[in-house]
A and B are shown apart, each in its own frame.
Chain A
Amino acid sequence: MNIFKPTVAAIATVAALSLGSCTDLDENLYDQVGSENYYNTKNDVIRAVFRPFEHAFWSIGSRHVLNELTADQLITPTRDGWWNDGGKWERLHYHTWTVDDLGEAQTEWNGCFQGIMQCNLVIEDLNRFKYESFGFTEAEFNNLRAQCRALRAWFYIRLLDAFRNVPLVTTYSDRPSNPQAEPKEVFDFIESELKDCTSLLVRKVGLGNNATIQGQWTQAAAAALLVRLYLNAEVYVGEDRYKDCETYAQAILDGRYGDYALADRWDAAFDWDNDTCDEVIFGFPGSRGYTHWHYDGDTYGWTVPAKAADFFNDTKSGVGHNTKYAASPSYDLDGNLYDYELGMPVQNFRKYDGDERMKFYTNLGNSRREGMFLFGYLEYKDAETGETKRLRAPEQPYDLYLRDAVGRFQSLDPTRWPADKTSKLSTGDHNSGWHFVKYPFYDDNDPNQLASDYTEIRLPEVIYSLAEAKMRRGDRTSAAKLLNSVRKRNYPADKLDDVLYSPDGKVRFDEKEMLDEWGREFFAESRRRIDLIRFGKFNTGRWWDKTPDADDHTALFPITRTILNSNPNLVQNPGYGR
């Protein structure tokens, strides 16, 4: 019997041990880091500071859809059964969206506020730290914090623009659940933040050296946001701030916030080496291997035919091309030009002879391109056989012949027009509407494929804003000259007299030209909606198959039902009903 005693003792010991030590339920982390242990080195701070920036780059997609597909220049027609998507694109186009079905508005709201909360978190963290303990200089540390404030202001401008009535939240850890603020309160916050942090930001000195500070909010970038804010102040808060817009725009042009210069060609701000382009005031850095949200999916990757990879020979880029965006048509299905005041972007370009951008998009080799549009037959040399082919429609057996019109052409001879004359968003095919290339699609052998950064603010925006402010304050001559200073790079020297506004050329400059010129220079740059609103055209205008709205409640987007329901503090924007 004695032999059992040690066994019993052993079992009792094991049991006692397991009972004593094993009520511990703390969690152990392996592939992530506990927040309280996160900050140790300078690089940890840098990685946290730029999280909202990386998110901001991602977030540009919803803004593009909201500001372009609701406006007069870009369309997403149904194409041989593609792109119907339950009427989603029609609702955007005809301004018939509801609080239930506007997914992009939900993404825009959440995307911006996520960015704002990320900024608030980082700013709070930085406020707790001493710069020395992480090996920062005071200037670098303050610059990083000021940049987060500038980025937060950029998000708030987007919210003011899309929703107007939004909560103003500037903290993180106290879990703020503020109700919506008056737009003026948000406006004043953006204004004071930008003015406040400008001096803490870096000032670009000299030309050709932007690359080192690409992606950083600089003094000029913050000032350009003020220009953006003041230009639209009348829409946002009903205040005439054109004078302030002029002041800041002029100061940027005078070099007070750094050294910038217009590029000599229109596409320099979009090209692979645009990080060195002195026209770029703020851009999100892109690279083929790391990140390129502007090429991904539905911003600039889907502005071309579905099988465009054959045409560009860029399958290795991984950009899955698609036909989401095309230019709104200029012609009806008898081949007659429409006579609407708005829309017809291709016709607007065609109006002034010799426009570089009207050239057929072609990769010239050595990481250069020409032209912005794709039209007619898209002929290319087959990479393997060398024979010349025409790009075909997907799923359908016809060669593409892209027209500046929307209808069911399919394999119809280019000289003929279809019998069915209905031209509307639901009656398109893969030939409908000119396609375009803003950021270049270099081929698989080009070392600079997908190397472009995404240009968020460029000098022409400041110049055009200044021109518009001057025009509105009655100084048309100065406005015309400012626009000409940009425009002249787009046309051959011998045609300038016919294309520049007087007094530099023969063309009469007026308000309509101002709006048209916004549309040409900033074609497909995610801003058309606010330009139409500022000129009073967004709800009253008529373009292609879009008729005026019954009222102007769609100038603001609704707070979608999911967001409204999750936050009982929120009040829906006027005209939408809860």
Chain B
Amino acid sequence: MFKDALEANPTTPLMDPENPAQYYNFYGQITGSNPVERQKLEKDKATTKLLDWDATVKLNLLPLFAKNGISDHHLSTQIMFADHVYDNDNSFFRPSTSTVSINNGQEGYASRSYSKEKQYVLEWLANYDTRIAEKHNIKAMIGYSYQYSQYSGFSAENQDFPNDGLGADNLGSGEWAKEEGEVMMSSYKNDAKLISFFGRVSYDFEGKYLLTASLRHEGSSKFGKNHKWGNFPAVSLGWRISQENFMKDAEWLNELKIRADYGVTGNQDFASYLSINTMSGFGYYYYNGKYFQVWGPGKNVNPDLKWEKGKNWNIGLDFAVLNNRISGSLNYFNRTQQDLLGNYKVPVPPNIHDETFVNVGTMRNTGFEFDLNFNAVETKNFSYSFDIVGTAMSNKFVKFSNSEYVGQDYYNVCSTEDPYPYYNLQRIEKGKSLGNFYMWKYASITQDGEWLIYDKDGDVIRATQGTDDDRRIVGNGMPKFTLSTSHNFRYRNFDLALFFRGAFGYDIFNIHDFYYGTRNFNGNVMKKAYGKNFDVSPDVANVVTDYYLERGDYFKLDMVTLGYTIPLAKCRFLDRIRVYFTAKNVFTITKFSGVDPSTYQVNGLQPGAQGGRSYYPSTRQFIAGIQVDL
């Protein structure tokens, strides 16, 4: 909607000048429909019902069965049942008077859909702990968990209704679904099970040396027959140096602990039924005087589908010094995700489809995190504390194939859309980091306003002669460093909190400049089209080059809150009254010339890149409030 409003020709009237009761028809413009009309005339409703409940029964077996009810051993068991139901009821209606209906040849359109997500978990646990000779602390736990999920739903739609007053509440009265072959309805249902057995043992000696080991044996219905179960061990070690005798004299030190851990996690987050052979319905074909829905294999089956595993290890240090004035933690992490689950290009033949859902590839993230807290000033009338949290991370796509699935060593991702389709902004490539912008390198613009680029030999050529070979890595959209910091002040009854965050060392492809920044675009354009980009001819097709690539670094004041606590004379019912004022998204320091750089996604498989020009503005919010404590 924002996108439509932005790019609509600004001289277009809202209402039809020849028929002021009718919204102006945007047909033929790049914005195909009147955004105000859609906002006013279309009824889009969604009702969601969420039910979550759980119950736990816990029994302390020891000391229950111990003599006199006293024991050094504690043994308990519990059963937990949790149920989660999520119902969605959606309806949509567009009246026959809407220009969208008129342009689509519809006398009104309506749909209704209902979806239901059901999940329950049954979990049994037994906990045991004991303390031996006042020094050895031992804890152990075993358990079993059963999780069932089911997704189902149906939808119906129709068009050409006798009366606009019916909305989406009388779908059967529409004419359209009466046509032969117009199905206008659908339903679906699928489910999955996840079962695990798990156990954990932890031991510490006088709270100084800590050891925990665990194992989870987990199975998911989604994997291949012989690959359903996976084992996920974890172990962690810790040493609280500050508890040692030789550190006892160091009064400035409140806490010092070094720790290391290693663990394996599993991922089974994908659709059911990909490991078994199934037949699905497709379109229609005519035989013996009637149409049959045809049936065939809906996918390439992969009976070897197995757990994607994450192998993670961390080394860290926790500390607190100077009477806990300064505390924090430092952490180095290394996370390797292997047997990545995803769709993979496979040859036809021998396959029947050109993609199979497989376990292929390895990706690694390594980095360093720190979290520092300072209680800088603490007096009766004034206090100031702040913290700084930072992460430096690097990524590498280690492998892209295995012995069974060999494909290319790269994938192009993040494709552009009309009116400049068929370009990709990024390439994910073996041995390289995610977020690499892979495109032509901009050289200059000719007198005629044509784009010039560098070819692979470094010679300047016209972009119209550029090929895939001339593309190269021109930047990366994954921030090398992210930082956030919050500051809290108090002066007498006033309090002030500031929260800043920022990301540094990365590039963003300015997608709105790409679409709206030249005179080539057939709609509303930005000032730049007649300013810095005026030399680009309106008759020359736009091309993806690093001309639109900019540094994305930013630092912003994300939130500020000023409060005042009103001093109260002793009052029976009121403890405290505080008035406050909050502003969110206050200011951003950046050299990026496009929209708020923090609206670009920097996680996921295509950080810093957005192929479409959809736009939702980042808002600045002001909140005033009164907080009353009774």
List A residues at the B interface (Cβ < 8 Å): 4, 7-8, 11, 14-15, 18-19, 22-36, 38, 43-44, 46-48, 50-55, 57-58, 78, 80-82, 84-88, 90, 98, 100-101, 103, 109-110, 113-114, 116-118, 121, 167, 169, 172, 175-178, 212, 214-216, 285, 287-291, 306-307, 309, 314-318, 392-396, 408, 426-427, 444, 561-563, 565-568, 570
Contacts and interface: CB of A to CB of B under 8 A. Distances in A.
A314 B103 CA distance: 10
B283 A30 contact: no
A44 B541 contact: no
Contacts of B59: 4, 7-8, 11
B47 interface: no
B296 A51 contact: yes
Nearest to B543: A86
B252 interface: no
Contacts, number: 251
Interface in B289-325: 289, 291-298
Nearest to B353: A114
A48 B189 contact: no
Given A314-B105, A318-B105, 5 more contacts: A98-B468, A172-B352, A212-B288, A287-B180, A290-B286
Contacts of A287: 180-181, 286, 291
Interface in B399-447: 406-408, 419-423
B83 to A, nearest CB: 15
A34 B182 CA distance: 27
Contact of B349 (A4, A25, A117): A117
Contact of A291 (B220, B279, B284, B421): B284
B180 A289 contact: yes
Nearest to A101: B468
B128 interface: no
A287 B226 CA distance: 46
A277 to B, nearest CB: 15
A567 B347 contact: yes
B350 A177 contact: yes
Nearest to A178: B349
Interface in B194-251: 195, 219-222, 228
Given A25-B195, A28-B191, A48-B296, A36 B277 contact: yes
B284 A290 contact: yes
A175 B301 CA distance: 12
B580 interface: no
A396 B298 CA distance: 44
B179 interface: yes
A35 B276 CA distance: 9
A418 B102 CA distance: 36
Given A25-B193, A285-B285, A306-B28, A35 B278 contact: yes
B347 A51 contact: no
Given A82-B419, A117-B352, A212-B289, A30 B189 contact: yes
A54 B293 CA distance: 9
A306 B288 CA distance: 38
Contacts of A215: 285-287
A524 B369 CA distance: 63
Complex A-B, nearest 7 residue pairs according to Cβ-Cβ distance, in ascending order: A289-B181, A315-B105, A316-B105, A84-B541, A51-B296, A567-B347, A565-B408
A23 B195 contact: yes
Contact of B124 (A15, A23, A54): A15
Contacts of A31: 187-190
Contacts of B388: none
B280 interface: yes
Interface of B is mostly: loop
B372 interface: no
B21 interface: no
B294 A51 contact: yes
B29 A395 contact: yes
A314 B520 CA distance: 31
Contacts of A51: 282, 285, 294-296
A46 B363 CA distance: 46
A25 B220 contact: yes
Interface of B: 27-30, 57, 59, 61, 64, 77, 79, 102-106, 122, 124, 144, 146, 152, 179-182, 187-193, 195, 219-222, 228, 272-273, 275-280, 282-289, 291-298, 345-354, 406-408, 419-423, 464, 467-468, 520-523, 538-539, 541, 543
- Max chain A CB contacts within 10 Å: which of B59, B64, B195, B287? B287
B292 A317 contact: no
A117 B352 CA distance: 6
B283 A54 contact: yes
Given A30-B189, A563-B347, A86 B420 contact: yes
A27 B273 contact: yes
B79 A15 contact: yes
A6 to B, nearest CB: 12
B293 A85 contact: no
Nearest to A111: B348
- Max chain A CB contacts within 10 Å: which of B181, B298, B522, B541? B541
Nearest to A393: B28
A426 B291 CA distance: 44
- Max chain B CB contacts within 10 Å: which of A81, A88, A307, A561? A81
B214 to A, nearest CB: 19
B191 A177 contact: no
Contacts of A114: 348, 352-354
- Max chain B CB contacts within 10 Å: which of A212, A290, A316? A290
Given A53-B294, A395-B522, A34 B278 contact: yes
B422 A86 contact: yes
- Max chain B CB contacts within 10 Å: which of A4, A31, A561? A31
23 contacts: A4-B59, A8-B61, A14-B79, A18-B122, A27-B221, A29-B276, A31-B187, A34-B278, A36-B277, A51-B296, A54-B294, A84-B541, A86-B543, A114-B353, A178-B349, A287-B286, A289-B181, A290-B180, A290-B284, A315-B105, A395-B522, A565-B406, A566-B406
B28 A307 contact: yes
Nearest to B58: A11
Contacts of A116: 349
A90 B464 contact: yes
